[in-house]
């Protein structure tokens, strides 16, 4: 049965290396007698077999204790630490092996530094090769991990864009808007005309927002004002949205983020004149904007683990290390979005 200590590939590697190591090592220590004298050949081979596996186990333990998932930028330091540990272990093992050979009657091996140092030098060269190979392996693994992280982040960003696109062409929103427009045409033609103009502004902004990564916060709020005006035509006093006034011109935000949060609040909460849904959007003192709504759950709420919020969080990580701050209790649900300086928008636009 194969030892569980080694993987299948290590097992086959050692089986392939054993004849080479036995022949070269015994030829160096015993000379031509190893090939010409059968008792010497059998004794040397048996001794080499035991010492080979003893040395391999020791060196494997040293490698596995030292090696690990090297952190970014720590690969060279880890390889140097492994090299000196392997060097110490190799020299001690060479001393031990030659000493064992010198104790066996009939082999006539001289236990001296002159016999030890050439084998120790070869062992050290092998150690350097192993460390270089492992260093290359860990560097490649780190690169693969970085690529996987980038792909995962890109995939989440695409999910956000897809969610935003679904919101842009949301059939429910379009259907409800057309129903509202149909009722307005006969009841209030002037308001119907204003409604069509606002609807055109909404979709024009959505199409433009899909082509840029960041927009000025004031533009997003102006768009949201028009969007809320459309929602109020349908929901009347059942929906109350408080928007901030003028904001600093140097602040930016990913497009349609506020619209997604308002849509979620409308979708997952009950709206009625007796129990209006109140959404408050306000700037904070630490260059962020907070969207808060009262909780009156219809079927379910968009908890902090919602796909939409995870996607927004992933999208923000492409611009800043600050994260979404999500607070939820039985009465209120709020999401605080960090705002970005205009300089970041210019960099990403280039």
For 208-248, what is each residue's pLDDT tens digit?
A: 766 677 889 998 999 999 889 888 888 888 999 999 877 88
Average pLDDT over residues 300-328: 69
249 shares its domain with 194? yes
Is 249 buried (19+), middle (13-18) or exposed (0-12) by CB count in 10 A?
exposed
Q: Residues in the chain, how many?
A: 350
Average pLDDT over residues 291-299: 86
pLDDT value, residue 266: 87
110 shares its domain with 228? no
Buried b (16+ CB within 10 A) or exposed e, 26-45: beebbeebbeeeeebbebbe
Average pLDDT over residues 316-333: 85
Q: Sheet containing 332-338: give its strands across.
A: 239-242, 277-283, 288-294, 332-338, 325-328
Average pLDDT over residues 320-339: 88
d(CA 347, CA 238): 42
pTM score, two decimals? 0.49
Provide, rounded to the nearest whole percent, the portion of the chain with pLDDT above 90.
13
199 shares its domain with 135? no
178 shares its domain with 138? no
Instruction: Find which of 24-33, 73-82, 170-179, 341-350 is predicted with most confidence, using mean pLDDT.
Output: 24-33
For 44-56, what is each residue's pLDDT tens digit?
A: 999 989 988 888 8
* Domain finish residue from 118, 148, 178: 148
188 shares its domain with 326? yes
141 shares its domain with 67? yes
* 161 within some domain: no
- The whole domain housing 217 covers 169-349
* 156 within some domain: no
* 245 within some domain: yes
Number of domain units in the chain: 2
Average pLDDT over residues 287-306: 72
100 shares its domain with 190? no
* 153 within some domain: no
Q: What confidence tier does 283 reach under pLDDT thresholds 50, 70, 90?
A: very high
* 24 within some domain: yes
123 shares its domain with 200? no
137 shares its domain with 232? no
* 160 within some domain: no
Provide, rounded to the nearest whole percent, the portion of the chain with pLDDT above 70.
82
76 shares its domain with 217? no
Mean pLDDT is lowest, of 95-109, 216-230, 232-246, 302-316, for 302-316
Average pLDDT score over the chain = 79
83 shares its domain with 213? no
pLDDT value, residue 347: 40
d(CA 316, CA 173): 26
Is residue 9 over pLDDT 80? Answer: no
Q: Which of 277, 268, 271, 281 is nearest to 339 (CA)?
A: 281
* 121 within some domain: yes
224 shares its domain with 324? yes
């Amino acid at each position: 049965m194969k030892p569980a200590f080694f993987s299948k590939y290590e097992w086959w590697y050692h089986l392939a290396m054993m004849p080479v190591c036995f022949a070269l090592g015994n030829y160096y220590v015993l000379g031509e007698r190893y090939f010409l004298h059968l008792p010497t050949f059998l004794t040397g081979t048996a001794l080499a077999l035991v010492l080979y596996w003893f040395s391999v186990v020791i060196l494997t333990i040293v490698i596995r204790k030292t090696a690990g998932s090297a952190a970014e930028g720590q690969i060279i330091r880890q390889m140097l630490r492994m090299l000196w540990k392997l060097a110490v272990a190799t020299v001690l093992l060479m001393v031990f092996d030659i000493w064992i050979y010198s104790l066996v009657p009939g082999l006539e091996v001289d236990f001296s530094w002159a016999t030890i140092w050439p084998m120790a030098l070869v062992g050290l060269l092998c150690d350097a090769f192993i460390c270089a190979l492992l260093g290359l392996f860990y560097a490649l693994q780190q690169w693969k991990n970085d690529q996987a992280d980038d792909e995962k982040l890109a995939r989440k960003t695409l999910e956000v864009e897809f969610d935003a696109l679904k919101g842009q062409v949301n059939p429910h929103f379009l259907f409800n808007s057309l129903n509202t427009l149909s009722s307005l045409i006969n009841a209030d033609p002037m308001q119907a005309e204003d409604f069509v103009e606002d609807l055109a502004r909404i979709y024009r902004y959505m199409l433009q927002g899909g082509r840029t990564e960041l927009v000025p916060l004031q533009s997003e709020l102006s768009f949201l004002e028009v969007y809320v005006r459309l929602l109020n035509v349908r929901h009347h006093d059942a929906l109350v949205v408080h928007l901030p006034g003028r904001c600093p011109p140097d602040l930016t935000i990913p497009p349609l983020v506020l619209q997604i949060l308002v849509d979620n609040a409308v979708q997952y909460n009950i709206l009625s004149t007796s129990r209006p849904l109140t959404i408050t959007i306000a700037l904070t003192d630490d260059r962020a904007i907070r969207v808060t709504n009262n909780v009156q759950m219809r079927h379910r709420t968009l908890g902090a683990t919602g796909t939409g919020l995870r996607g927004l969080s992933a999208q923000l990580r492409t611009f800043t290390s600050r994260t979404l701050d999500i607070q939820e209790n039985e009465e209120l649900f709020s999401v605080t979005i960090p705002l970005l300086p205009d300089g970041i928008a210019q960099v990403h636009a280039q």
